[in-house]
Amino acid sequence: SFLDIIERDLFQAHMR
């Protein structure tokens, strides 16, 4: 689901 992608992107952005 696209939601999973958004959550993953958000998580990565936070971990950046």
- How many residues belong to the chain? 16
Segments of the chain scoring below 70 in pLDDT: none
Tokens describing residue 1 = 């689901």
Please report the pLDDT score of residue 14 as a whole number.
78
Please report the pLDDT score of residue 6 as a whole number.
95
Q: Looking at the whole model, is its pTM more than 0.75? A: no
Please report the pLDDT score of residue 2 as a whole number.
93
Query: What is the distance between the alpha carbons of residues 10 and 16, in angstroms, rounded to a whole number?
Result: 10
Query: What is the distance between the alpha carbons of residues 16 and 1, in angstroms, rounded to a whole number?
Result: 23
Tokens describing residue 3 = 């939601």
